[in-house]
């Protein structure tokens, strides 16, 4: 598999940072892979998590994990789709916004087009919402993407988290 799960240590650090805002949040796990980050969000009190991954195989694994943990279907949505296409469709169908968006694409992916959508489509992210991007620590992330501004970066091992908010 080409999936690179978020390390337990990085996930723990992420949720320590998110602790004040996770309870009752609507969370988007974009490029969800195994779903570990979104499942952690649910376990920490998120109201709803939408899992999006383009691999049917990974979506089946996420669904199996959710069922094994007896997480009710009203607590999550599971969508098999490319991240860019999901975001483009989301705006058109006027879905609910997300308080926290976690974006963990393959490290070699071009992040710019997807990140620009977050800043441009206000139906995705409320004014106090945040986008967190997991990327390789050597990848340089822009200070801004389509109205999102970088406000924090954290490096741990080979990975880094970049935190953006509407600016």
Residue ranges per domain, the chain? 15-153
* DSSP H or E stretch at residue 88: helix 83-92
**How far separated are the first and last CA of the chain, in Å rounded?**
37
Q: What's the mean pLDDT in 159-166?
A: 94
User: 48-53 and 76-80: which strand pairing?
Assistant: parallel
- pTM (2 d.p.): 0.91
Q: For the CA atoms of the chain, what is the radius of gyration?
A: 15
Phi first, then psi, for residue 154 (nearest 5°) are: -140, 130
Which one-letter DSSP state was computed for residue 163?
E
User: Which CATH number is 15-153 given?
Assistant: 3.40.50.150
Give per-residue pLDDT as tens, 110-151.
777 777 776 556 678 888 999 999 999 999 899 998 888 999
Say which range, 40-44, 79-83, 96-100, 105-109, has the weakest mean pLDDT: 105-109
Residue the block writes with tokens 């969000």: 41
DSSP assignment string, 91-125: HHTT----SEEEE---TTS--HHHHHHHHH-TTTS
Residue 98 pLDDT > 90, yes or no? yes
Secondary structure class of 28 (helix, strand, coil): strand
CB 100 within 8 A of CB 22: yes
**Which of 29, 11, 8 has its CA nearest to residue 19?**
11
């Amino acid at each position: 598999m080409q999936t690179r799960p978020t390390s337990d240590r990085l996930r723990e650090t992420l949720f320590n940072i998110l602790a004040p805002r996770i309870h009752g949040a609507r969370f988007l796990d974009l490029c969800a892979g195994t779903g570990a980050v979104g499942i952690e969000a649910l376990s920490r009190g998120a109201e709803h998590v939408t899992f999006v991954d383009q691999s049917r195989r990974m979506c089946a694994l996420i669904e199996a994990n959710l069922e094994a943990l007896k997480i009710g279907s009203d607590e999550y949505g599971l969508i098999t789709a490319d991240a860019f296409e999901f975001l483009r469709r989301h705006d058109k169908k006027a879905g609910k916004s997300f308080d926290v968006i976690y974006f963990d694409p393959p490290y070699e992916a071009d992040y710019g087009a997807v990140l620009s959508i977050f800043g441009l489509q206000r139906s995705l992210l409320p004014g106090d919402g945040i986008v967190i991007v997991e990327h390789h620590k050597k990848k340089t992330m822009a200070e801004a993407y389509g109205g999102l501004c970088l406000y924090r970066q954290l490096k741990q091992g080979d990975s880094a988290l970049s935190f953006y908010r509407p600016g």
